[in-house]
């Protein structure tokens, strides 16, 4: 009786009602998105193979465009992980494997870690898997010198947005996490084996060197874009984080995830992931329905938009100040030590 009452009450929440009609995948839209993402990406591969005989600078220029399409393919992978891209769970799993191979991401392991991210985003006591390492001011000040140095290195733009992306997609994603089940580890091995098969096939057809000259810049550029998007979605001025006892799911989604108002072309390549506050509130909404959900509901429009220009401010925000309830830079530590918190 209580379970029925709680479920009925949950369904009556305004955000539940606002998102409900947008949660159903539309087959023709999903197929069209697959078509306008995969076909241009594969076609660009063909052009890039030809361009190697013309100029590698031309190849690198084409790699930027191809990376945009690969980022869009990753968003399809992301929706499949949430089971929101297709109505059929089997179709989602099949597409998740295929797009995971293209994006060098093990689908089962990533799905598990991403679920942890959704469950704990905005929860200071739930920081860990699937999130950017973030320390509080108090944690930083009480840490050892080596740990503070390691944290500063990790939070530097050079590490986060230049060194980390290729390592994450090319190396880290190849290694099964020991803490996961055999089922998840088999998913990593299956992705790795399929990627190896693609590498062997490309080596026998176009050659290993041309393959690497094309694949490495694409995955690196797409990885940089992906890490940047993930970073500013939860590390921005005005973000809200709470301890577990004060944590509220809806508030954490709407105030702990950004509304990244990108130019239309970038919004298209990133498959509406800028409407991240809505996505975290209801990951069952397919990416192509997020903008419509945003336009139709005033409660979502109240989120302060983050622009390309204003998002640059996020680079200087490194620590969570619990006393102020905001992200601050390392300069705040110097102020505290001078007695001016």
pLDDT, average across residues 67-84: 98
For residues 259 and 304, is the Cβ–Cβ distance under 8 A?
yes
Residue with tokens 């890490």: 227
Measured CA distances, 9 to 2, 17, 196 (Å):
10, 11, 50
Percent of the chain with pLDDT over 70: 96
Top-confidence residue, 43 or 337: 43
Block residue for tokens 């697959």 = 34
What pLDDT sits at residue 340? Answer: 63
- How high is the pLDDT of residue 12? 46
Structure tokens at 280: 């975290």
Average pLDDT (70-82) is: 98
The answer to whether residue 35 scores a pLDDT higher than 60 is yes
Q: Per-residue pLDDT for 86 more than 70?
A: yes
The Cα-based distances of 272 to 124, 175, 230, 313, 329 in angstroms read 27, 30, 13, 22, 29
Is the pLDDT at 272 greater than 80? The verdict is yes
Does the pLDDT at position 209 exceed 80? yes
Distance, CA of 115 to CA of 113 (rounded, Å): 5
Token digits of residue 22: 């947008």
- Confidence class for position 181, pLDDT limits 50, 70, 90: confident
In the sheet that holds 319-321, the strands lie side by side as: 135-136, 319-321, 326-328
pLDDT in tens, 120-171: 888 999 887 778 999 999 999 999 999 999 999 999 999 999 999 999 999 9
pLDDT at 338: 72
Beta strands at 319-321 and 326-328: parallel, antiparallel or unpaired: antiparallel
The mean pLDDT value of the chain amounts to: 92
- pLDDT for the residue numbered 127: 85
How far apart, in whole angstroms, are the C-alpha atoms of residue 157 and residue 80? 30
CA 310 vs CA 160, 316, 319: distances in Å:
19, 12, 18
How far is residue 310's CA from residue 314's CA, in Å, rounded to a whole number? 8
Q: What was the pLDDT predicted at 107?
A: 93
CB 121 within 8 A of CB 256: yes
Q: What are the pLDDT digits (tens) for 276-318?
A: 999 999 999 999 999 999 999 999 998 999 999 999 999 999 9
**Rounded alpha-carbon distances, angstroms, from residue 331 to 27, 137, 155, 205:** 51, 11, 14, 54
Q: Which residue has the tokens 């100040």?
A: 321
What is the pTM (predicted TM-score) of this model?
0.91
Please say if the pLDDT value at position 15 is more than 90.
Answer: no
337, burial (CB in 10 Å: exposed 0-12, middle 13-18, buried 19+):
exposed
* Residue 178 or residue 25, greater confidence: 25
Indicate whether 228 pLDDT > 90. yes
SS (H, E, C) the chain: CHHHHHHHHHHCCHHHHHHHCCCCCCHHHHHHHHHHHHHHHHHHHHHHHHHCCCCHHHHHHHHHHHHHHHHHHHHHHHHHHHCCCCCCHHHHHHHHHHHHHHCCCCHHHHHHHHHHHHHHCCEHHHCCCCCCCCEEHHHHHHCCHHHHHHHHHHCCHHHHHHHHHHHHHHCHHHCCCCCCCHHHHHHHHHHHHHHHHHHHHHHHHCCHHHHHHHHHHHHHHHHHHHHHHHHHHHCCCCCCCECHHHCCHHHHHHHHCCEECCCHHHHHHCCCCCEHHHHHHCCCCCHHHHHHHHHHCHHHHCCCEECHHHHHHHHHCCEEECCCCEEECCHHHHHHHCCCC
Question: According to the model, what pLDDT value does residue 341 have?
Answer: 60
Is the pLDDT at 3 greater than 50, yes or no?
no
């Amino acid at each position: 009786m209580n379970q029925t009452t709680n479920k009925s009450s949950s369904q009556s929440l305004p955000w539940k009602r606002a998102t409900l009609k947008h949660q159903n995948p539309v087959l023709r839209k999903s197929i069209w998105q697959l078509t306008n993402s995969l076909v241009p990406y594969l076609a660009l591969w063909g052009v890039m193979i030809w361009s190697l005989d013309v100029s590698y600078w031309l190849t690198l220029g084409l790699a930027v465009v191809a990376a945009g399409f690969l980022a869009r393919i990753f968003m399809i992978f992301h929706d499949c992980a949430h089971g929101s891209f297709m109505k059929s769970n089997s179709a989602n799993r099949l597409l998740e494997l295929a797009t995971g191979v293209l994006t060098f991401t093990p689908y089962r392991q990533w799905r598990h870690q991403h679920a942890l991210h959704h469950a704990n985003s905005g929860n200071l006591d739930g920081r860990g898997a699937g999130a950017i390492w973030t320390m509080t001011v108090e944690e930083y000040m009480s840490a050892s010198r080596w740990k503070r140095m390691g944290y500063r290195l990790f939070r530097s733009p050079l590490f986060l947005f230049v060194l980390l992306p290729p390592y994450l997609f090319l190396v880290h994603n190849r290694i099964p996490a020991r803490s996961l089940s055999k089922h998840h580890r088999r998913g990593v091995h299956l992705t790795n084996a399929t990627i190896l098969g693609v590498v062997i096939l490309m080596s026998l057809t176009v050659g290993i060197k041309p393959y690497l000259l094309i694949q490495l810049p694409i995955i690196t550029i797409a990885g940089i874009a992906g890490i940047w998007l993930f970073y500013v979605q939860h590390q921005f001025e005005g973000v809200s984080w709470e301890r577990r006892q004060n944590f509220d799911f809806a508030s954490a989604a709407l105030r702990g995830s950004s509304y990244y108002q990108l130019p239309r072309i970038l919004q298209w390549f990133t498959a509406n992931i800028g409407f991240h506050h809505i996505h975290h509130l209801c990951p069952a909404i397919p990416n192509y329905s997020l903008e419509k959900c945003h336009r139709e509901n005033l409660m979502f429009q109240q989120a302060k938009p983050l622009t390309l220009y204003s998002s640059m401010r996020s680079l200087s925000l490194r620590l969570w100040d619990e006393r102020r309830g905001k992200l601050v830079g390392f300069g705040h530590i110097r102020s505290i030590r001078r007695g001016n918190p």
